[in-house]
C-alpha cells in the first residue's frame, strides 16, 4: 500500500491553482477508490484500491483533473512507470485529465507557460 505523503511540490501546485483559479477545489492525497468507481479492468483494480492522487481538482463537485508531480523515479523505475500508466488509464476511462510533471519543471517556466500548462488540464484539453 502506498504511504500517504504530501510533497512540497504538490503543496506549491495547490497554492498556485488556488491563487490563479480560486473557484477550483484542490485536494491533496486522495485515494483513487474515493475518486473513481471500481474499474472492471482487472489490471487497474490494484492501483484503484491502494493508489492515491497527489492532487485532485474539482469544479462544482465534479473531478476534472489529477496532477501528479514526481521525481525522476517516475520516469526511471519500471514499477513506478507501470503504476503511473495504470493511474493515467484509470483517469482516462473516467474522463478525467491527468498530468504527470517532473518536480521543479513549473518553477523553470515563465508565468504564462506555467498557467497555460496547468490550465490546459483544468479546462478540458486532453
pTM of the model: 0.86
Residues 48/33, Cβ–Cβ less than 8 Å: yes
pLDDT above 50 for 3: no
Give the three cell numbers for residue 98. Answer: 491527468
> Which DSSP letter does residue 88 get?
H
What is the pLDDT at residue 71? 66
**Which tens digits make up the pLDDT trace of 31-82?**
999 999 999 999 999 999 999 999 999 999 999 999 999 765 556 678 878 8
- Edge-to-edge, what's the strand order for the sheet holding 97-102? 25-31, 52-59, 62-70, 97-102
φ, ψ at 54 (rounded to 5°): -60, -50
Tell me what the mean pLDDT of segment 77-97 comes to: 90
Give the Cα separation of 96 and 124 in Å (integer). 9
What is the pLDDT at residue 1? 37
Residue-range domain boundaries for the chain: 8-122
Amino acid at each position: 500500500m502506498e504511504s500517504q505523503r504530501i510533497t512540497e511540490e504538490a503543496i506549491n501546485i495547490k497554492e498556485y491553482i488556488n491563487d490563479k483559479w480560486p473557484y477550483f477545489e484542490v485536494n491533496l492525497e486522495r485515494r483513487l477508490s474515493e475518486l473513481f468507481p471500481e474499474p472492471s479492468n482487472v489490471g487497474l483494480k490494484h492501483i484503484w484500491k491502494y493508489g492515491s492522487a497527489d492532487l485532485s481538482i474539482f469544479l462544482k463537485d465534479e473531478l476534472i483533473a489529477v496532477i501528479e508531480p514526481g521525481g525522476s523515479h517516475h520516469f526511471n523505475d519500471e514499477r513506478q512507470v507501470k503504476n503511473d500508466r495504470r493511474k493515467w488509464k484509470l483517469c482516462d476511462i473516467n474522463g478525467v485529465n491527468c498530468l504527470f510533471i517532473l518536480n521543479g519543471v513549473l518553477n523553470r517556466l515563465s508565468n504564462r507557460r506555467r498557467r497555460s500548462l496547468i490550465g490546459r488540464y483544468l479546462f478540458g484539453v486532453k
